[in-house]
Structure 1
Amino acid sequence: MTDPLLNATDLPNISSIDLDAIAPSRRDAAGHETHRPRVLLLYGSLRERSYSRFLVLEAERLLKAFGAETRVFDPAGLPLPDDVGIDHPKVAELREACTWSEAQVWCSPERHGAMTGVLKSQIDWIPLSTGAIRPTQGKTLALMQVSGGSQSFNAVNQMRVLGRWMRMVTIPNQSSVPKAYQEFDDEGRMRPSPLYDRVVDVIEELMKFTYLVRGRSDYLVDRYSERKAAREKDMALEQVAQGAGL
């Protein structure tokens, strides 16, 4: 696949001379996937002027500039976990988008020193496993938060624990935007600043990790303990069958 030309026409804060396409010669191995990376973005506020949504939309613009295919999930109307069945339209939409994705971005406001219930509910609706399929295992993950006051990392630290629990490859870099009300203009666009540059760093790193991990995640998350348990289960079933004369 030829790298798409970075399109910075909708990224006025970008220094194009410093923004490089992610080089195929450095990212790809033999037999690599050739489709555009698929990225799902989740945000954690239902407010009309939602800074976590604004930040996710900035991240989406950057992802598209780097050649990704994106979906932003709207959490409005998503019921509380276990309040309805999994056939609810919003639950089904979220789970299908999670399965579709190869990478995800989670962004939450910090509320009472923690991530919001809106973001946590979305994560809680994503199962650890569906039959033999683990919807999040081996997918890459980037974390961001917005705060009304001084810079904090409580929400991203909580989400990092959840990402590890969901068996996701959570990238080292992360973004925390303090006093978010000062960082976005009336149109919801993020103003140029070192904080914006950090968001670019996070998205660039997510794309690099996604290119390197996808197509290899089954191998990367293959575990000794699970192989051992599966072998012992097969041996036990074989002994039962032999005992029954089958």
Structure 2
Amino acid sequence: MNNESNFLKDEKFALKPDAHQILSSTHAAKILILHGSLRPKSFSRLLAAEAGRILSYMGAEVKFFDPADLPLFDQESHTHPKVTELRELSQWSEGQVWVSPEMHGNVSGVMKNQVDWIPLSIGAVRPTQGRTLAVMEVSGGSQSFNAVNTLRVLGRWMRMITIPNQSSVPQAYNEFNEDGTMKESSYRDRVVDVLEELLRMTYLTRDVRDFLVDRYSERKEHQLKVDLKKM
């Protein structure tokens, strides 16, 4: 999904390959992309692939999660291989892109199921806390923001740093070429805006993530447990 297209080489992106070197960072940004459909050529998958191509060209290391075969969320399937894969990818990532179709005024069940499987904590590890997040949606009708608004709420609950910019692609069936790449349009321009902002925020925050997510209430609770053990 993340093969570089030749047309990317002529675009005037603010972030070029290796641009991360001027941002006091030691390695390419690690970005995980989730999409909210099982169909091989769904528009959320196509938009996710477009985002992956652009991010890769900007110098990011991009990985995708395929939601096919991910079980419906329950408390008994946490050892399922797809659950393990998703959680490991989330822990690997420094930033994420969530792309959902709008279904009945909200995110798709496939999208929500993936988020449900990423816990707030796994022991001492928090798979999403302090990571950056960009949200996008596709729809078959007029432009809407219901899905991205829901994704923002989910990102907040997952303690992620959701960037202000977002992308909503209406009538998505008109916005892609036969090869799956996105047509030139103001909607694609907004996608680039979102991804540039995501990378900037990722580079600015990832090296100080522990400082940004340090919470007084958690420090207080931890100290209380330490004190109780001493009694």
Specify if TM > 0.5.
Answer: yes
Shift of the 11–225 alpha-carbon distance from structure 1 to 2, 3 Å rule, reads farther
1:236 aligns with 2:228: yes
What is the rounded CA distance, in whole Å, between the counterparts of 1:18 and 1:69 in structure 2?
Answer: 17
1:73 aligns with 2:65: yes
Q: Please, which runs of 5 or more residues in structure 2 have no aligned partner?
A: none
Shift of the 23–46 alpha-carbon distance from structure 1 to 2, 3 Å rule, reads closer
1:10 aligns with 2:5: yes
- The aligned counterpart of 1:110 is 102
Correspondence list, 1:1-246, <5 A: 10=5, 12=7, 16-17=11-12, 19-21=14-16, 22=19, 24-25=21-22, 27-28=23-24, 32=25, 34-82=26-74, 84-238=76-230, 240=231
Name the TM-score, length of structure 2 as normaliser.
0.92
Q: CA deviation at 1:48?
A: 3.3
Instruction: For 1:136, give the aligned amino acid.
Output: T
Q: CA deviation at 1:232?
A: 2.5
Q: Match of 1:41, SS?
A: strand
What is the rounded CA distance, in whole Å, between the counterparts of 1:169 and 1:218 in structure 2?
Answer: 13
- State the Cα RMSD in Å: 1.9
Q: Please, which runs of 5 or more residues in structure 1 have no aligned partner?
A: 1-8, 241-246
Name the TM-score, length of structure 1 as normaliser.
0.87
Q: CA deviation at 1:57?
A: 0.4
Provide Cα deviations, 1:198-234, integer angstroms capped at 9, x if missing partner.
0000111111011111121100111112112222332
Instruction: For 1:91, give the aligned amino acid.
Output: V
Aligned partners of 1:13 and 1:191 also within 8 Å: no
Moved more, 181-190 or 143-152: 181-190
Shift of the 48–17 alpha-carbon distance from structure 1 to 2, 3 Å rule, reads closer
Q: Match of 1:216, SS?
A: helix
Greater Rg by CA: 1
